[in-house]
């Protein structure tokens, strides 16, 4: 029997944010067990907490319904909320396949089972996306308002700019054509008209047709905006995602410059919505 909880990441109110299932004490589960559980639950991601191996607080494995990810934002934020609630911790080091990252948690006293989490994110490998014309066609778009570039932080995010919120809401991707773009997520973004940014993410290649909150893309979006003159290093940007799905999610992100390259951070609220036990 394995205890688990479900946390809505990047939300505070009921039925907002992106749900992740967090399984505790999973050292006895092998890769096949974890992949099967993630497929059965069929959330966009499921995490499995294990004993640390490299000096961190915990090792965390992350699975979509179809594959394992080296790093992901909303699952790790939700895991930090779950462990803060379960263990009373306010700072953790998570060992992931992409490296070890620090998570700071501030619990919200006025809202039980709710916390704000600030996370470090991997420094991405940035490249021009070679299949840009095919990707735009799959998204039903004629052009992008910024260079179509890929930011590899474990999951590979490809950013496509659209004109405004109305145009973003009209994006209707051909999911079959988009699925031919292996191992990537397409992220359409635009200004929200109020000083922040709106985002939609489509990734049938990762088993997720559309995602309500893509935390691992928050820091890369901040860097993308900096690189193309739409934001400044050190500036905190506000991102809203999931509106078109009825799952409004809000993220903060910052790109900072350092000698060895950009340092990315992302943050947001999460709240625990369910607990249970799984017999396996």
Q: Rounded to whole angstroms, how far apart are CA atoms 173 and 233?
A: 32
User: Residue 48: what pLDDT?
Assistant: 98
Token duo for residue 277: 């036990």
Query: Do residues 81 and 130 both lie within one domain?
Result: no
pLDDT tens readout for residues 211-228: 999 999 999 999 999 999
Same domain, yes or no, for 78 and 209?
Answer: no
Query: Domain range for residue 136?
Result: 125-264
Catalytic residues, by residue number, are: 45
- pTM over 0.85? The answer is yes
CB 17 within 8 A of CB 8: yes
Nearest-angstrom CA–CA distance, 162 and 148 = 11
Looking at the structure, do residues 132 and 260 belong to the same domain, yes or no? yes
Which residues, in sequence order, are CB contacts of 53 under 8 Å at separation 6+? 59, 95
- Tens of pLDDT, residues 230-263: 999 999 999 999 999 999 999 999 999 987 778 9
In contact, 114 and 107? CB cutoff 8 Å:
yes
| Residues 153, 106 share a domain | no
Do 42 and 129 fall into the same domain?
no
Res 261: pLDDT: 79
Task: Please return the burial class of 102, using the count of CB atoms within 10 Å of its CB with bins 0-12, 13-18 and 19+.
Answer: middle
CATH number at residue 90: 3.10.310.10
Instruction: Give the Cα-Cα-Cα angle 28, 279, 77 (nearest 5 degrees).
Output: 65
| Rounded-to-integer distance, Cα 74 and Cα 196, Å | 19
Instruction: Verify that 229 and 208 share a domain, yes or no.
Output: yes
The pair of structure tokens assigned to 50 is 């294990």
Same domain, 135 and 41: no
Q: Is there a single domain that holds both residue 100 and residue 191?
A: no
Tally of structural domains, the chain: 2
Q: Are 20 and 45 in contact (CB under 8 A)?
A: yes
Whether 71 and 96 share a structural domain: yes
* 145 class by beta-carbon count within 10 Å (0-12 exposed, 13-18 middle, 19+ buried): middle
Whether residues 142 and 81 fall in one domain: no
Q: What is the pLDDT of residue 260?
A: 78
pLDDT of 210:
95
What pLDDT score was predicted for residue 110?
80
Place 89 in a pLDDT band, splitting at 50, 70 and 90: very high
Q: What is the pLDDT of residue 111?
A: 83
Do 136 and 252 reside in the same domain of the chain? yes
pLDDT at 280 over 80: no
Examine the domain organization and report whether 141 and 35 are in the same domain: no
**pLDDT tier at 13 (50, 70, 90 boundaries)?**
confident
């Amino acid at each position: 029997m394995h205890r688990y909880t479900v946390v809505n990441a990047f939300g505070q109110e009921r039925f907002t944010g992106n749900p992740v299932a967090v399984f505790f004490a999973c050292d006895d589960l092998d890769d096949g067990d974890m992949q099967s559980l993630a497929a059965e639950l069929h959330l966009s991601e499921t995490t499995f907490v294990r004993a640390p191996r490299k000096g961190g607080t915990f090792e965390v494995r992350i699975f979509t319904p179809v594959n394992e990810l080296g790093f992901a934002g909303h699952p790790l934020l939700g895991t930090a909320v779950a462990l803060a609630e379960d263990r009373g911790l306010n700072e953790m080091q998570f060992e992931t396949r992409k490296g070890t990252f620090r998570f700071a948690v501030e619990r919200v006293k006025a809202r039980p089972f709710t916390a704000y989490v600030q996370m470090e994110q991997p420094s991405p490998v940035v490249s021009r996306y070679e299949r840009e014309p095919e990707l735009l066609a799959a998204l039903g778009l004629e052009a992008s308002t910024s260079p179509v570039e890929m930011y590899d932080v474990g999951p590979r995010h490809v950013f496509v700019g659209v004109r405004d919120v109305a145009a973003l809401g009209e994006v209707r991707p051909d999911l079959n054509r988009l699925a031919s773009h292996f191992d990537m997520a397409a992220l359409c973004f635009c200004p929200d008209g109020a000083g922040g940014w709106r985002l939609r993410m489509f990734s049938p290649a990762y088993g997720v047709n559309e995602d309500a909150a893509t935390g691992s893309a928050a820091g890369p979006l901040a860097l993308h905006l900096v690189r193309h003159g739409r934001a400044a290093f050190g500036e905190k940007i506000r991102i809203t995602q999931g509106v078109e799905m009825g799952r409004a999610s809000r993220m903060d992100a910052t790109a900072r410059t350092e000698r060895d390259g950009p340092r990315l951070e992302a943050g947001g609220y999460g709240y625990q919505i369910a607990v249970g036990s799984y017999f396996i």
